Amino acid sequence: AKFYIGSSAKTRKLALGFETEMFGKNVSEMKKDIEGNPYLEWNIVYNHEMALADKDLTIMDTLGGKHYFRGQEKDGKFVPTLSDGNYKLEKWDTKESRYISVENISKYITFENSQKLILKLPERNTSYKFTYATDLVQDTTTSGYSNRAALVAEGRNVLTADKRYEVVDAYAWGSA
């Protein structure tokens, strides 16, 4: 899914020379951790050059179905496992023409539960990439895993990016 703001629906090219969109999401092929448990890796990208650079922005990400953010329940509250690369926020460095890690991600990310997170973008005029893993519960009734991100400005959804990962006959792929 592609979303554009402004008078024309055209993509912009960053310094790397590839086309980009204002707000988008993609998903990896299903992977297995060292213990053989299945997971998906998701990416959400926000390009500040497209619009809204004058607003404070958050990303609300909601999972559907049988997959969960990495972490555990403690005393009735979800506690994310922020270590081990499970959650990574990077900002676009225009001088370096590459993404660089944002330190202390815990300052910007909160979890309502194991299927909903809120990420406050640290700076208005910066492009970001947020990468994270979700653990999967596989059973014979699960045919896919859905994920919806919303870009929120001033308390209202500005854009959404939906992605669904389909499981078919033991083979899997990402779809828009």
Confidence of residue 47 (pLDDT cuts 50, 70, 90): confident
How far apart are alpha carbons 129 and 59 in whole angstroms? 11
pLDDT > 60? residue 175: no
Mean pLDDT is lowest, of 80-84, 95-99, 153-157, for 153-157
pLDDT > 60? residue 16: no
Mean pLDDT over the full length of the chain: 78
- pLDDT at position 80 is 92
Is the CB of residue 174 less than 8 Å from the CB of residue 18? no
Is the CB of residue 48 less than 8 Å from the CB of residue 151? no
- pLDDT at position 51 is 56
Confidence of residue 52 (pLDDT cuts 50, 70, 90): low
What count of residues does the chain have? 176
How many Cα neighbours within 13 Å face the side chain of 119? 24
Residue, of 28 and 120, whose pLDDT is higher: 120
How far apart are alpha carbons 170 and 57 in whole angstroms? 39
Residue, of 170 and 167, whose pLDDT is higher: 167
- pLDDT at position 141 is 66
Q: Which of 25, 22, 43, 26 is nearest to 127 (CA)?
A: 22
Would you report the helix, strand and coil content of the chain in percent, each value rounded to 5?
5, 55, 40
Backbone torsion region of residue 35, taken as left when φ is above 0, otherwise alpha when ψ lies between -120 and 50, otherwise beta: alpha
